[in-house]
Amino acid sequence: MAHAPAAQQHALSGVKVLELGALIAGPYASTVLAQFGADVIKIEPPGKGDPLRTWRKLHDGTSLWWYTQSRNKKSVTLDLKQPEAQDIVRKLVAEADILIENFRPGTLEKWGLGPEALHAINPSLVFVRISGYGQTGPASQKPGFAAIAECMGGLRYVTGYPDHAPVRTGVSLGDTLASLYAVIGALIAMHHVKVNKGKGQVIDVALYEAVFAVMESLIPEYSVGGHIRERTGSALPGIVPSNTYQCQDGSYVAIAGNGDGIFKRLMDAIGRSDLGADPALAQNDGRAKQTEMLDGVIASWAAEHTLEHILETLDAASVPCGRIYTAKDIYEDAHYRARDMIQSFVLPDGQPVDLPGIVPKLSETPGQTRWLGPKLGEHTREVLEQIGVTPEQYEKMKQAGLA
C-alpha cells in the first residue's frame, strides 16, 4: 500500500469520471484528473485487465508503469461486449460528470454506448473520445497508435539527423499529448456545464492532431514560402545559438544562448567578447546567418573543458545550460527533490518504489497520490453495490464471467 500524504482539499473532489479503454492515451487523461481529486472508475476486461499491467519492467507480475499511471483509480471489471455489463455502464453514466474512452471509432456505438445513447441518460455528460485519427474523416477507421500519429503529425520527420532515418522520442509522446488535450477539453466542457449551465458535449481528440498542434511554424512557413523544415540533429534551426556540444570528458552539454542579452553573456564567458559586441550578431536573424560559424566557436570552447567546468562557468554568467539527464541523474538531482518531483511509496509486497511527482503544482489544492494502481477488479463489488447490484447478483455476474 502507498504511503499517502495527509488529507487535503482537492480541486476536483466530487467530480465522477468513468474511464473506458486501455493503455496510454485515455487512461493517462483520467490519471491527471484523479491526481487532483476526481473519483475515477476504470473499467477493465475480466481476467487480464488493461494490457498496460504487463508492459515494460514488471515487479511481482505487475508493470511498474501501471502503479504510477493508475494511481488513485478504482478498478472495476466488466465485459463490455455483454448486454448486462453495458447496462451497468449506463447506470454509472447516470451519475458521471466525464466519460473518457479510446476505442476505435464506432466501437461504443456498436455496444449501444455512443454519445447519443448516453446523453439521453445524462445530458450533462462530458464525453471525451481519443483515437488515432478522430471520429470523422477518411482515416477515422484505421487503427491508431502514437508511433504513427507522430509521423502523420509532422514530429518524426523533423526529429533526428539529416543523414539518418527519422527517429522517435523515447516515450509515447503522441499519446500523452493527446491525453493532455483531452483533459483541457474535458475541463472546458465541464466549466460550460457547471458555470454556463450548458449541456454536455463530445470532445473529439485525435492523436495526430495533438502532435500537429505543437508543431510551431511548420505550416505557415510552408504555405507562404514552400519551406519544409528538415531534421537538424541537436540544433534548433533558425534560433541561434542553441545546440548540444561535446565536452572534453566525452559528455555532452546543451547550451541555449539564443536570447540577445544571453548571447552577449555567453560570448563573454567563453572569451569571445568580440562576437558579443558585433552589431551583425546582436539579433537572432543576424546570428542565424552565421549559425555554422557560431556553433564552431562554441564547440571548440566546449571541447577544451569538462562538463562540470562548463556548467559552473555558464551558470555564473546566467546562460541557460544543462547536462543530458539520465534516469540516475534525475533521481539524484537536488532540484527534483526540493520540488517534490520524486515521491516514495511502498508496493503491495513491501518493496519501496519511487514515482514521479505531480504536475502542475497548485498552491491551494495540490495534486496527491492517495493510492497506487489497484489490483484487477479491486473495487468491482464496492462500485456495483453503490448502484444497486446485490451481493447475490454480483456473484452470479462473476461466475458468468461478466465481472
Which DSSP string corresponds to 46-75? TTT--GGGGSSSEETTEEHHHHHHTTTEEE
Surface-to-core class of residue 279, CB atoms within 10 Å of its CB (0-12 exposed, 13-18 middle, 19+ buried): exposed
Q: Which of 39, 79, 175, 204 is catalytic?
A: 175
Q: Which residue is associated with the grid cell 447506470? A: 91
Is residue 253 within 8 Å of residue 247, measured between CB atoms? yes
Give the helix ranges, DSSP H, for 200-272.
207-212, 218-225, 260-269
Residue type, 45: P
And the C-alpha cell for 296?
564552431
Q: Is 175 a catalytic residue?
A: yes
Name every residue whose Cβ is closer than 8 Å to that of residue 273 and which is 6 or more positions away in sequence: 267
The per-residue b/e assignment along 52-83, b for 16 or more CB within 10 angstroms, e otherwise, is bbeeeeeeeebbbbbbbbbbbbbbbbbbbebe
Is residue 193 within 8 Å of residue 126, measured between CB atoms? yes
Polymer length in residues for the chain: 403
Residue type, 261: G
Angle between helices 25-35 and 173-194 in degrees, nearest 10: 50
Positions annotated as catalytic residues are 175
